Amino acid sequence: MSDAAPMSVEGEWRPKVALRIWIGRLFVGACVLAIVVSLLLLGALIIDVALDGAARLFNLPTILDVGFLTNFPSRFPARAGVYAGVIGTLYMMALTAAIAFPLGVGAAIYLEEYARPNWFLRFIQINISNLAGVPSIVYGLLGLQLFVRTMELERSVLAAALTMALLVMPIIIVSAQESLRAVPPSMREGAYALGATRWQMVRHSVLPYALGGMMTGNILAMSRAIGETAPLIIVGALTFVAFLPQDPLDPYTVLPIQIFNWISRPQADFQQVAAAGILLLLIMLLVMNSAAIVLRQRTRVRW
Amino acid sequence: MTVERSTQQDDAASLRGAIDQPQASVIHKLDEELALELRDVSVYYGRFQALDSISLDIAKRKVTALIGPSGCGKSTLLRCFNRMNDLIPSARMSGVIDYEGENILGDEVDAVDIRRRVGMVFQKPNPFPKSIYANVAFGPRVNGFKGDLDALVEASLRRAALWDEVHDILKTSGLALSGGQQQRLCIARAIAVQPDIILMDEPASALDPIATLKIEDLMRELAEQYTIIVVTHNMQQAARVSDYTAFLLAGQDRTGRLVEYGPTGTIFTTPQEKRTEDYITGRYG
């Protein structure tokens, strides 16, 4: 035990409590302003699109204008529909997920659970994070050379899905790594201490608790891909398609390209059709993101 | 009972003149059937030496306590017995831990096999977020147990004095139990793979006094069948539950060394080393 040191330090105290509280309020005010501005901009965008497109997408007697959903594109705005675009988008997204999810999750498991931490791992890690920020058109150029030309997949759904898989893989890997990291080390130690091998530990003691987060990351990555247009223009999505892709090597179109095509037409009626397409894309996005949230809530483990 | 007084010379330390205490240690030889024999066990984390030449014998079906202030390397030593240190990439172990003729630290020995025979209970209860049943069944399942799993789960829970409290809620999550129950679940989980030795790393430090007493009673009971090695900060606990006590202390180089080892009664009443006496009477840590 040391003797208590005397508390006699010279100095003056200026608490200025009122000022400090005001600075705190000022900060809250700035934050509220930031969110109001961004919500207003977003709200203006949605209202603008909805005013233009709702009439075309929704038809009061039928709730949803079936013709718009089931028609192929047409020269006549009144008969133009998004059928080919919606089916093409769903087809491509399913293929993309089927390719990107196993590859991305596998890579994440290797990086988190198996790879020894050294400079090479850090190098790979930094590059994966960087890849997530590469402009999507660059992936389009890569896909054009690699899939469309070298692998001779031509303008097919498969070529588009492979390109999209490359695009979303970094997002899937990073989010899967984060959900693996969220599993406490004590779960790994607990499994090891019972004589589990590394694979048994990963399979039974880590993956079950990381899977929900991985699925969420996957859906969010798909939400990113659903709106991508630039790389698909490069790998050759068609803009006017009057048929559906029958197998992965068929030509295709997707919703954003369809919208892009309509917007670039001079007739005012096509602007309305484009707005309806945008509204539909937004609804699809909303559904996917809601699914991600529900999944996250359902699979959350309270440690 | 023979007492051996040995003197170790730490060259690096004496060069720097950093060590303020003599490097003698008092190690009692045990007149017991032995579970483990340690010879010159050292552990390094990269260039840092965490443990220096620990040599002692662990008695079979007894409770051995490892005590010492924070950072003396007692948890590191415990984690040598089931090769948990392997999980730290920079860790390196040397020396011999003789376990039924095998060297646990040997390259030819498989850590997975060792961990089935040397179980472990951690400081913070860490049941898997699975049902109580699945928690206990985890070890038998990964180790390929073929037989009556229900009976094994029940026997393990009974052995861990938890069966009466959980027999009708086996399907609920292990995380729904109280802290003390969770720790007994972890003990049941460790017992279920039928180990010879159970390591406990401060098993009661996160529990309230009542739950702590239950764990201590359980340790005494389990010692009839298993060899138990327990790391503890709580000296009363070491005195209450253990048959033998090892006192470790880190020098100014932060490397842990064994200061004194012997029957718990002797260590706590008539320690041979002044440093042991100082620690036990509360002058360190």
Note the ipTM here: 0.86
* Over residues B109-136, mean pLDDT: 93
Higher local confidence (pLDDT), A5 or B221:
B221
Using pLDDT thresholds of 50, 70 and 90, give the confidence band for residue A7.
confident
Q: Give the percent of chain B with pLDDT over 70.
A: 91
Which of A275-284, B111-120, B239-248, B275-284 shows the lowest per-residue confidence on average (mean pLDDT)?
A: B275-284
Taking CA A221 as the corner, what is the angle to CA A217 and CA A222, rounded to the nearest 5 degrees? 120
- Partner-chain contact A194 B82, CB within 8 Å: no
pLDDT above 70 (res B1): no
Are B113 and A302 an interchain contact pair (Cβ–Cβ within 8 Å)? no
pLDDT band at B24 (very low <50, low <70, confident <90, very high): low
Please give, rounded to a whole number of angstroms, the shortest distance from the CA of A187 to a CA of chain B: 7
- Find the mean pLDDT for residues B98-124: 92
Taking residues A203-212, what's their average pLDDT? 90
Residues of B in contact with A301 (CB under 8 A): 129
Band (pLDDT 50/70/90 cuts) for residue A252 is: confident
Give the separation between CA A214 and CA A177, rounded to whole angstroms.
8
Q: Give me the mean pLDDT over the B223-241 stretch.
A: 92
Average pLDDT over residues B137-147: 94
Strands B244-250 and B227-231: unpaired
For B140, nearest residue in chain A (alpha carbons): A194
Pick A193's closest partner by Cβ from B115, B124, B143. B115
pLDDT greater than 70 at residue B20: no
Structure tokens, B184: 């007994």
pLDDT at B201 > cutoff 90: yes
Partner residue opposite A192 with nearest CB, options B115, B124, B193: B115
Q: Measure CA B240 to chain center.
A: 16
Tracing tokens 């190098």 back to the chain, one arrives at: A123
With CB atoms and an 8 Å threshold, state whether B193 touches A187: no
Res A36 pLDDT > 50 = yes
Cα–Cα distance measured from residue B78 to residue B36, given in angstroms and rounded to the nearest whole number = 12
Distances (CA, A) of A204 to A122, B137, B190: 27, 12, 17
Are the beta carbons of B142 and A196 separated by less than 8 Å?
Answer: yes
What is residue A63's three-state secondary structure? strand
Mean per-residue pLDDT for B216-235?
93
From the candidates B83, B87, B90, B112, which should be mutated to test the interface with A, based on the most A CB atoms within 10 A?
B112
A194 closest CB neighbour out of B89, B124, B142: B142
Give the integer Cα–Cα distance in Å for B18 and A205.
45
Would the pLDDT of A224 be above 80?
yes
This prediction has a pTM of 0.80
Half-sphere exposure of A242 (CA within 13 A, CB side): 4
Separation between Cα atoms, residue B217 and residue B214, nearest integer Å: 5
Model confidence at A258, in pLDDT bands (50, 70, 90)?
confident
**Structure confidence at residue B284 (pLDDT):** 64
pLDDT computed for residue B18 by the predictor:
39
Give the 3-state secondary structure of chain B.
CCEEEEECCCHHHHHHCCCCCCCEEEEECCCCCEEEEEEEEEEEECCEEEEEEEEEEEECCCEEEEECCCCCCHHHHHHHHCCHHHHCCCEEEEEEEEECCEECCCCCCCHHHHHHHEEEECCCCCCCCCEHHHHHHHHHHHCCCCCCHHHHHHHHHHHCCCHHHHCCCCCCEHHHCCHHHHHHHHHHHHHCCCCCEEEEECCCCCCCHHHHHHHHHHHHHHCCCCEEEEECCCHHHHHHHCCEEEEEEECCCCCEEEEEEEEHHHHHHCCCCHHHHHHHCCCCC
A-facing residues of B in 115-134 (CB < 8 A) are 115-116, 119-120, 122, 124, 126-129
- Whether residues A196 and B113 touch (CB distance < 8 A) is answered with no
Comparing B156-165, B223-232, B270-279, which segment has the lowest mean pLDDT?
Answer: B270-279
- B165-195 confidence digits (pLDDT tens): 999 999 999 999 999 999 999 999 999 999 9
User: Rounded mean pLDDT of A185-191?
Assistant: 93
pLDDT on residue B8: 45
Q: Is the confidence at residue A61, as pLDDT, over 90?
A: no
Q: What is the average per-residue pLDDT within A85-93?
A: 88
Q: How confident is the model at residue A56 (pLDDT cuts 50, 70, 90)?
A: confident
Q: A241: closest CA among A72, A91, A67?
A: A72
Q: What is the chain B residue with the closest CA to A113?
A: B87
Q: Which residues pair with B53 in a beta bridge?
A: none
- Tell me: pLDDT of B7 over 50: no
- Assess whether pLDDT exceeds 60 at residue B3: no
As a whole number of angstroms, the distance between CA B233 and CA B245 comes to: 12
pLDDT band at A62 (very low <50, low <70, confident <90, very high): low
Mutate to test the interface with B, among A188, A194, A211, A302 (most CBs of B within 10 A): A194
